[in-house]
Structure formats: structure tokens, C-alpha cells
């Protein structure tokens, strides 16, 4: 037998049973499914990112809480310390004369959390979700990736935002990113052509994740380095999820760590501040590499804890002054009073937000010490009417807070 040992029948049967269980061990935990007792059995892992854009309403409402059962993920472990979220005087709000429960049902919201000065003023769940549910974030993840740039700057793994992208990713030399800086990547002003359309199957935000690459190649780098330039770097803002994915690849290169490990070490298990999360989280990854532009699933309260960390400036977690710089307007948008920072949307009143399609949002109002998080499964990825509803919700929270002063 050439020195090989023959596996006995009992060991073979045990080996087969372990293979059957392996996907649940590697890709998620039973906790997610437990939060949805009426959900159908887990699906086979193997979906490609952007396939979720084609799901039906019923599929979204079920699967947004079970992404780790359909996509390969990296796990982000929480530690032994949990940042407390004590309860304060309950806040009652109505949106456009409609009770909050009815509003959440109409817009298909799975959760809403209002923290004021780190205390829970309001916490509601819908769509069969509860405190243990891990809901996907879509582009709210961009704010996390931005924060990890701040971590890399703190550690001098990234030396300066004025550094060229090619300094960290030599493969981009000779591409449209040759003269683009890290700062321009963060503000989405690279001048590289990109089409972001959630209804078009041939848009860049779909093709990036569906275009095959050679084994061993990085999906994001291979796609992004082939894009053409349409304007000079630093002269035009265009929303590009692919550039946040590229930012994530740059952070991995600079730090030598996965984004999940960096997030786990510096925030999820951080006992020194508002970090220190209550539950594990999951980040969609291909060949172990996360997509910086989307893909984190976490609980409503842990999203609130992340927002509270940012509201307080994330001292010791990121480079000094990073949060203030990241959340100020660097690019004015066509909509009056709105702008873009380093992956954060900014507003004239000093508030800022991380936004994701289908109703994911984290709005932070420093003046009122507010963090407001919503998780959802909107009937559409986005629309003017749904965006107006989200703004009305924020306005209702602000009015209710001001009325109690």
C-alpha cells in the first residue's frame, strides 16, 4: 500500500458525516437560522455577489438574514467584552403621521435602532428578525472599509493618502489608475469609467463579480485594471462600488491581513471603547478575499455599536483625526446640502451616513449624539420615493429628540 493507512469503516463513516457538516462550520453558524424558525432549509453555498439583485421580494426578506448560508464568508469573531448599550427614556415617533410599526411594514424594514449618547432610545424589529439576526449591510460596508484605512494609517501600513495606488498594487501600473492616489480612490474621483446600475445585468457593479479570472488572480484587481479613463484624476465624482472593493484590496496588501482579521482585532474584539461587539459577524469573501464595497452581515445592535464608535471618533483605533476627516465633505454633490467624504455621505448640518441599497442605513448626528440604524428589504434597491421615506424617518427622530429638550 506504499505506506498509506487504510481508513476503517467507522472512521470512514465519521469522515463522510463531517464533510456533510463542513459548509455550516466554514460558512456560518446555526445562530442565523435559529433567528428565523419559519425559514426554509439552508441553501447551498455558491452564490456569486450581485446575484442577490435578482431575488424576489420574498427571497430578499428571507435571505438577507442568511447570507452566510449562500455565500462564502470570513467570520469576524467577537470577544469576551461587550460594549454596554443601556436603555434610556423610550422615544416615540411617527413618520408622516403614520405609526412607526406601519411605516416599517410598508417599507419592509427588518430593524431600527436609535442610540443617543450610547443609550437605546428605540429598538424595533420586523420581517421575522430579532436581536440575534445577522442582516446584510450592502454598501454600509463601505464605511467599515474606510475605517480600516484609518487603522492602516495608524499603523503606518499606509503611509499617506497622497500615495499612488500603484505603490501598493503594482499590477495597476499602466492602467487608468496609474496616477490615482489613495485619497482619490476613497473619494471616488479617480476619473476611471464606471457604470453603477442595480437594474442592468451588464453594469460594472454586476460584471465585476461575474467575470471569470485565471486561478490565483484577484477578481477585483483584474477587472478594475482593465477599465478606461474618462476624466483626469480628482476632477469628477462618480459613485463606484468597485473602487471601494479596490480600496479593500489595497488595505489587504498594505497590512498583510484580511479585512475580517483587521476588523476583528481592532473593533469587533476591542475592549477599550465602544467596540467590543456582542455577536460574531460575517463578510462575504471569494477565495478568502473580502469585497470592500459590501458584504458584512451583523446584528442591529452591533451596527449601532460601530456607529457609536465612529461618533466618538474611534480614539486609538484609527489615525488621529481620521474620523473627522473621513466624515466631512470632500466632494459636493448635485443635490444641495449633500456631499461625499471617505466613503461616507455628508450633509450640511454636520451629520453623515453610511447607506446601502434595499434600506440599509447608519445615520450619525454628532450635534444630538445620535446614531440611527435601519436594516431592510425595500421593494426596490433604491428610488427617490424610498430615499425620501428614509429622510422622513431621520427627520422624525430628530424632531422627537428636539421636542424633549
pLDDT (tens place) for every residue of the chain, 405 residues total: 343 333 443 433 333 333 333 332 233 333 333 344 444 555 555 566 778 899 999 999 999 999 999 999 999 999 988 999 999 999 999 998 999 999 999 999 999 999 999 999 999 999 999 999 999 999 999 999 999 999 999 999 999 999 999 999 999 999 999 999 999 999 999 999 999 999 998 999 999 999 988 988 999 999 999 999 999 999 999 999 999 999 999 999 999 999 999 999 999 998 766 668 999 999 999 899 999 999 999 999 999 999 999 999 999 999 999 999 999 999 999 999 999 999 999 999 999 999 999 999 999 999 999 999 999 999 999 999 999 999 999 999 999 999 976
Phi, psi of 103 (to 5 degrees): -65, -45
3-state secondary structure of 131: coil
Q: Please identify which residue in the block is written with the cell numbers 462550520.
A: 25
- CB neighbour list of residue 130: distance below 8 Å, 6 or more residues apart: 35
Q: Where are the beta strands (DSSP E) in 219-358?
A: 281-286, 289-290, 296-298, 331-332, 338-340, 345-347, 352-356
In this structure, are strands 94-95 and 98-99 parallel, antiparallel, or unpaired? antiparallel
User: What gap in Å lies between CA 249 and CA 245, rounded to an integer?
Assistant: 6
User: What gap in Å lies between CA 376 and CA 1, rounded to an integer?
Assistant: 58
C-alpha cell at 185: 480612490
pLDDT score of 45: 57
Q: Name the DSSP letter for residue 1.
A: -
In order of 8, 248, 325, 351, the CA distances from 138 in angstroms are: 47, 15, 23, 21
What do you get for the CA distance between the two ends of the chain, in Å?
A: 82
User: What gap in Å lies between CA 359 and CA 348, rounded to an integer?
Assistant: 22
3-state secondary structure of 325: helix
Crossing angle of the two packed helices 141-154 and 241-255, in degrees rounded to 10: 30
pLDDT score of 8: 44
Closest CA to 197 of 162, 159, 242: 242
User: What gap in Å lies between CA 346 and CA 77, rounded to an integer?
Assistant: 30
In order of 168, 206, 274, 281, 371, the CA distances from 83 in angstroms are: 35, 37, 6, 15, 15
pLDDT score of 80: 83
C-alpha cell at 127: 420581517
Amino acid at each position: 500500500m506504499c505506506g498509506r493507512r487504510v481508513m476503517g469503516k467507522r472512521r470512514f463513516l465519521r469522515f463522510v458525516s463531517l464533510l456533510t457538516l463542513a459548509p455550516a462550520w466554514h460558512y456560518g453558524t446555526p445562530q442565523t437560522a435559529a433567528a428565523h424558525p419559519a425559514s426554509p432549509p439552508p441553501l447551498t453555498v455558491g452564490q456569486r455577489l450581485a446575484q442577490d439583485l435578482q431575488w424576489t421580494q420574498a427571497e430578499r426578506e428571507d435571505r438577507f438574514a442568511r447570507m452566510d448560508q449562500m455565500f462564502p464568508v470570513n467570520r469576524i469573531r467577537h470577544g469576551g467584552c461587550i460594549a454596554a448599550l443601556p436603555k434610556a427614556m423610550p422615544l416615540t415617533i411617527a413618520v408622516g403621521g403614520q405609526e412607526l410599526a406601519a411605516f416599517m411594514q410598508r417599507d419592509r424594514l427588518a430593524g431600527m435602532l436609535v442610540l443617543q449618547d450610547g443609550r437605546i432610545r428605540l429598538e424595533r424589529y420586523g420581517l421575522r428578525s430579532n436581536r440575534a439576526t445577522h442582516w446584510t449591510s450592502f454598501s454600509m460596508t463601505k464605511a467599515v472599509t474606510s475605517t480600516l484605512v484609518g487603522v492602516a494609517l495608524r499603523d503606518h501600513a499606509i503611509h499617506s493618502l497622497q500615495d499612488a495606488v500603484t505603490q501598493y498594487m503594482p499590477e495597476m501600473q499602466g492602467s487608468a489608475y496609474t496616477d490615482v492616489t489613495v485619497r482619490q480612490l476613497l473619494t471616488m474621483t479617480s476619473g476611471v469609467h464606471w457604470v453603477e446600475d442595480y437594474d442592468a445585468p451588464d453594469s460594472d457593479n454586476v460584471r465585476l463579480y461575474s467575470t471569470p479570472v485565471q486561478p490565483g488572480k484577484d477578481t477585483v484587481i483584474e477587472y478594475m485594471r482593465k477599465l478606461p479613463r474618462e476624466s483626469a484624476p480628482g476632477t469628477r465624482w462618480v459613485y463606484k462600488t468597485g473602487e471601494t472593493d479596490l480600496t479593500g484590496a489595497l488595505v489587504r496588501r498594505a497590512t498583510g491581513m484580511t479585512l475580517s482579521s483587521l476588523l476583528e482585532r481592532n473593533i469587533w474584539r476591542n475592549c477599550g471603547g465602544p467596540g467590543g461587539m456582542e455577536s460574531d459577524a460575517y463578510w462575504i469573501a471569494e477565495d478568502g478575499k473580502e469585497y470592500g464595497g459590501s458584504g458584512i452581515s451583523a446584528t442591529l445592535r452591533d451596527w449601532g455599536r460601530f456607529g457609536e464608535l465612529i461618533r466618538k471618533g474611534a480614539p486609538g483605533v484609527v489615525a488621529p483625526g481620521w474620523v473627522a476627516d473621513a466624515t466631512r465633505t470632500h466632494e459636493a454633490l448635485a443635490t444641495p446640502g449633500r456631499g461625499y467624504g471617505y466613503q461616507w455621505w455628508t450633509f450640511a448640518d454636520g451629520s453623515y451616513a453610511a447607506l446601502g441599497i434595499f434600506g440599509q442605513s447608519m445615520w450619525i448626528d454628532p450635534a444630538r449624539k445620535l446614531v440611527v440604524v435601519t436594516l431592510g428589504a425595500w421593494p426596490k434597491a433604491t428610488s427617490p420615493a424610498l430615499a425620501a421615506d428614509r429622510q422622513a424617518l431621520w427627520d422624525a427622530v430628530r424632531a422627537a429628540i428636539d421636542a424633549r429638550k
